[in-house]
Amino acid sequence: MIRLALPIALFAIPSALFAQEHPYLSRFELIQQPGAVRVEWTMIAGNTCFDTEVWRGTAPEALSLIGLISGPCGSISVPTDFAYTDTAPPELSTLYYRLVLGSAGQSTTRSIVFDQLVTSVIRIVPDRTGDGVDVFLAVPLSANVELRCWDISGKLVFSASRLTGSKHHVPVGSQAHGAFIVQAVTDRRSFTGRFVR
């Protein structure tokens, strides 16, 4: 009798491939809105529970309860849609959400990148390329923006007009170091911020 010894890795399938949404849910989505994240889900017909909790965090292993929808959470006869709006998400964060469907258990954890300001009016963060910064403004996505950046000596290092939206890149060069001042002007207001590289 011949026996073949095959590597276990050939038969090992990562458990993530089998990750499945809660059997009561046909949909669980996160939608970014101005200043908020809308959580939407659909309960499959024939499944019910009582009370739904919405949990959120900035790390998947550290979620906190942020909302409760009291009462029945499904229907015996028809699919049922539900929604919860998180009106105070932490700004400029990757956010993780999970549903707890009464005593029926919990959903998988979903994530969304929330790249808006909620409590600040201007935030300046290093960009990923290392040649500048990203400037976030508390303005509507349709706002027209003029952006300027000076070094500490007063030399203009960047200027752009007719920009639209709330996020803008300011390249100052990978070799530029020191303190910088950023000014953003819209139709309605002016923002000023500082950063050091």
**What would the pLDDT profile of 127-178 be if each residue is shown by its tens digit?**
877 788 999 998 888 889 999 999 999 999 999 999 998 899 999 876 678 9
Q: What is the pLDDT of residues 17-40, one digit of tens each?
A: 334 578 999 999 999 998 899 999
Beta-bridged to residue 36, according to DSSP, are: 33
C-beta separation of 134 from 169 below 8 A: yes
What pLDDT score does 11 carry?
Answer: 38
What pLDDT score does 53 carry?
Answer: 97
137 token code pair? 């403004």
Q: What is the pLDDT of residues 61-75, one digit of tens each?
A: 999 999 999 999 889
What separation in angstroms does the CA of 70 have from each of 15, 99, 105, 195? 33, 13, 16, 46
Q: What is the pLDDT of residues 65-114, one digit of tens each?
A: 999 999 998 899 999 999 999 999 999 999 999 999 999 999 999 999 99
Burial of 139 (0-12, 13-18, 19+ CB in 10 A): buried
Q: What is the pTM of this model?
A: 0.72
